[in-house]
Chains A and B, each alone.
Chain A
Amino acid sequence: MFTKFWDKLAEGLAGRWTVQTLGPALAFWGGGILALVWHSGQSWQEITDRLETLDNTASYIALAVGGLLVLTTSSAVMTWLQLPALRLLEGYWPWQFRKLGFRLARHVEKRLQNKRDRWQQLADIERQERTAEQQSEYARLDAELAYYPVDQRHLMPTKLGNILRAAEEYPQMRYGLAMGVCWSRLWLVMSEGTQEALTQARQRLNSAVRLFVWGLLFAVWTAWAWWALLAAVVVALAAYWGMLQAAGIYGDLLRSAFDLHRFALYEQVRLPLPSTPADEEITGGRLSEYLFRGTGSDSAQFTDPTQK
């Protein structure tokens, strides 16, 4: 009975608190203990001897429950912090740093212009006439430029911010659909498979954000061990790299979701579909306005769902 209870508890923990959530917390606190041991100058033998003096089961249980509590609580706090942390990493900074953000974004714009100029040079060469090196550079630049917002006013001071902003801007630029208004509605008309793919991609991004913050926090153990700073830098850099990859995938899926499901949104709202790609910007704008403000489509006729 008791074993079954522990099995269920372990299953529940494994389900809700996956390795991705608890793993970094475990590494953080474990690293802290290691740093403390390093600082105290005690040998492992001395520590295990001291643990063995806790000879009653109650002490072990208290230690285990306490440890589990610290792990789960710190992981929960980190989960709450992941969105503010993600926004900071994107470049949405408090008002005191806004000017700095805009200045950095202008710096990004200059570097981006160099890339765009180079892309133009390569695009002007006929495909068959490009060398292998030029073709490779062209392909790399073509893909890279798609991860920056088209509207220069939307440029962010960080690479992560630009990858996500480019994806968020996409439905507006292509289809006239305001992301902030349409995303929640589109989510409800998407298939389970699409929702699952997007959720997994977002979870991967969130995991990388949490790992980044845990990595930075690891630097606090530098007070006890110098190598904690090194570990903190390595983990934070690796997590940031992982974040860029995850953001790229998430952004690609966001774009794809609008490419493939936007007509389902029109159909569910029963507003007429755009008749040509050139019309989309106007009809998308009207749909967004209608959903957000209730205006913009007063003269439109609702479509009849029975007539396909």
Chain B
Amino acid sequence: MIRISDEQILQAVENTRSQWTAMLEDQEVNDLEQWLIQAATGDPEAVRQTTNRVLELLQKHPQARVCVTSELGIKGDLKSLRTYSPLAGEHAPPPASVLMVCPKDPTHYRKRLHQKGQKLFCPEHGVPLVPADSIEQEE
């Protein structure tokens, strides 16, 4: 998936400045100029907020949206470029390091904990398993 930064989006909007009046309402042009001035300070929060506002504005004006996306050299919805997408591949799982053992006899039954909160029981003694570390500490 193409990743486009907020700065790139704002630069593309800036580059289409000459066409704003033909595509946007007068008030919107004024707002846009103000937002870009705020973003020009370089403050990351101002850049992010301005980009969000610009994207909202572009959602309302398909012509302006096409203009900005072609300036960026992409096809499709600008907002979707900032949408979270899961990774496509298979990944190495993080370690499952907590070993749970039977408190009555730590050597005869042991299981690894997949998730915190999981209840594991010893089938022989019917008691909840405890972390192996806690048994070692007691010893």
In the assembled complex, the Cα of A145 lies from the Cα of B62 at a distance in Å of: 43
Chain B residues with CB under 8 A of A135: 92
Chain B residue nearest to A152 (CB atoms) is B119
Q: Chain A interface mostly helix, strand, loop or mixed?
A: helix
Chain A residue nearest to B115 (CB atoms) is A150
Q: Are the CB atoms of A142 and B114 closer together than 8 Å?
A: yes
Q: Are the CB atoms of A120 and B84 closer together than 8 Å?
A: no
Query: For the complex, is B118 an interface residue (Cβ under 8 Å from A)?
Result: yes
Binds B, one of A247-255, A289-297, A300-308: A247-255
Within 8 A of B (CB), among A91-143: 116, 119-120, 123-124, 127, 135-136, 138-140, 142-143
Within 8 A of A (CB), among B75-121: 79, 82-86, 90-93, 95-96, 111-112, 114-119
**CB < 8 Å: which of B49, B83, B91 contacts A197?**
B83
Q: Are the CB atoms of A11 and B93 closer together than 8 Å?
A: no
Query: For the complex, is A41 an interface residue (Cβ under 8 Å from B)?
Result: no
Chain A residues with CB under 8 A of B82: 193, 196
Chain B residues with CB under 8 A of A127: 95
In the assembled complex, the Cα of A253 lies from the Cα of B83 at a distance in Å of: 11
Q: Are the CB atoms of A14 and B62 closer together than 8 Å?
A: yes
Known: A120-B112, A140-B90, A174-B117. A253 touches B84 (CB 8 A): yes
In the assembled complex, the Cα of A146 lies from the Cα of B117 at a distance in Å of: 12
* Chain B proximity mask over A236-269: 1 for CB below 8 Å, otherwise 0: 0000000000001100110000000000000000
Measured as residues with beta carbon below 8 angstroms from the partner, the interface class of chain B is 20 to 34
Q: Are the CB atoms of A150 and B118 closer together than 8 Å?
A: yes
Query: For the complex, is A49 an interface residue (Cβ under 8 Å from B)?
Result: no
Chain A residue nearest to B91 (CB atoms) is A139
In the assembled complex, the Cα of A243 lies from the Cα of B125 at a distance in Å of: 42
Q: Are the CB atoms of A150 and B117 closer together than 8 Å?
A: yes
Nearest CB of chain B from residue A248's CB, rounded to whole Å:
7
In the assembled complex, the Cα of A196 lies from the Cα of B112 at a distance in Å of: 37
Q: Are the CB atoms of A174 and B116 closer together than 8 Å?
A: yes
Q: Are the CB atoms of B91 and A123 closer together than 8 Å?
A: no
In the assembled complex, the Cα of A201 lies from the Cα of B118 at a distance in Å of: 28
In the assembled complex, the Cα of A249 lies from the Cα of B86 at a distance in Å of: 7
* 8 A-B pairs with the lowest CB-CB distances in the bound complex, closest first: A173-B117, A142-B93, A150-B117, A123-B112, A150-B115, A197-B84, A150-B118, A139-B90
Task: Please report B residues at the A interface, Cβ cutoff 8 Å.
Answer: 48-49, 52, 59-62, 79, 82-86, 90-93, 95-96, 111-112, 114-119
Task: Please report A residues at the B interface, Cβ cutoff 8 Å.
Answer: 11, 14-15, 116, 119-120, 123-124, 127, 135-136, 138-140, 142-143, 145-146, 150-152, 173-174, 192-193, 196-197, 200-201, 248-249, 252-253
